[in-house]
Structure 1
Amino acid sequence: MAFSPPPPKPVSPGLYLVATPIGNLRDITLRALDVLEAADLVLAEDTRVTAKLLNAYGLSKKLQRYDEHVSTEVEARVLDALAAGQIIAQVSDAGTPLISDPGQSLARAAAEAGFPVHPIPGASSVLAALSIAGLPTERFLFAGFLPPKSGARRTRLEELAQTPATLVLFETGPRLAASLNDMATVFGPDRPAAVCRELTKLHEESVRGHLSDLTADPRLLGPKGEIVVVIGPARTEVATEADADAALRLALKTLSPSEAAAEVARQLGLNRRDLYRRAVAFKSE
């Protein structure tokens, strides 16, 4: 199939926040390539990572490391370059810049100085995980990385526990099992969740279930790769026994007792074992 994309438009001077692939290099957008090709300077967290992306598309560009350790010293030079009418592209190692990445200071300084700041949207592990988690998407809160130590992590989780929106968190493989246990303790074992790993990459994997299921899943004991955890929202109202019975009877029209109990537990945040016993009783009526 021959593709006929719209012709590129000239790239004007300014700062461009360019989203890059989170795994599969083909997830770069045409507009991102246009900006990177036109850029006088590319700011990168890790210039080695960005060099691989640029090389994959035959681009040779001046690269400058830009992270939380060097951002202050680089910022003044970037503002001077913008004042001289240059095109500056800022990228993260993977995904959308400024999302749990350095760069907010530069974007704010550029905007306050009157320079154009443009988003070049593209890949985002937050949205990718949210789209496949099977959890409500009408409201969500991105909470970034949790603290590494259990005490601080539980304190942070307690702050989030009653949030009436789906939660999206980043976690590392070595800490995942401990974090899931803390989540089950603070949020309750029946809170629905999903662990999405290595999104868009060769070993992409998504594991869904209640937190009690995920804490017991051997696949989640120290997995490798980039990990996003999505957790269902806190219930704003406690489901009554009548609510549970009505939902079970409806689910039993198409599902087995075990499946119906799991589905209603996910919907209402109730104990699956109790629901299963009721479902079996309804089925035998």
Structure 2
Amino acid sequence: MAEHKEEDVKLGANKFRETQPLGTAAQSDKDYKEPPPAPLFEPGELTSWSFYRAGIAEFMATLLFLYVTILTVMGVNRAGSKCASVGIQGIAWAFGGMIFALVYCTAGISGGHINPAVTFGLFLARKLSLTRAVFYIIMQCLGAICGAGIVKGFNKSQYEAHNGGVNFVAHGYTKGDGLGAEIIGTFVLVYTVFSATDAKRNARDSHVPILAPLPIGFAVFLVHLATIPVTGTGINPARSLGASIIFNKDLGWDDHWIFWVGPFIGAGLAAIYHQIVIRAIPFKSRS
């Protein structure tokens, strides 16, 4: 048995040439094949029910995401002291926990993006077509607007008195600080998405069960802990847009560009890093 095991380890090491812990490839007979890149434009998607079903799933997931998270933020802001509420840690758990739950629920339908920055990063890596990427982003933004609108409908005066959960650069930080925080935070999120959903890693390390929504949700939680004091943590343009549109005051718009530019730069950098450095697949080979 020991001899056969050593042979399996050697076979695994030769089968997957990347540096890895001893024997990690010996646990599976899976042959990995690089999936073809998604076409830039796929007209057939527009006549497919699965295409619209995925968009509806993104809409509903983003609506629920904004509803729960903004309502949590409102509860913390209304409390007389942070000790009388869930506090910043509770807000971070609300964002991370909802992403975990919603990605788990929608991954099999739409991929569970729930974030235009994630969609953009996956589009750059040719994981989905431009047609689907644009449709997803539109549905995510509409869902975010509706989710924030429901929260405002509960108590308009309290919603407006406590800033409606909008993202803005906190006093004491510059716009450059806010932009940097959004870039790095989104990089962490999108890099985690790529790593948690990497088919090549799944084929190589199949003995390590990975529930993709768990590391993705945990990444969101950790980024919120770090950057809530800086920007309130955007890392999701739809979340920032929905809150700003429903709140509709200068506070929500003065720094709004940061919550689009930062996440898209961070997502782009994560896509490049993962495809070229981690996967060692040059972009030109995917065309």
TM-score, with structure 2 as normaliser = 0.28
| Larger proportion of helix | 2
| Larger proportion of strand | 1
- Max Rg structure: 1
Higher relative contact order (CA 8 A, sep 6+): 2
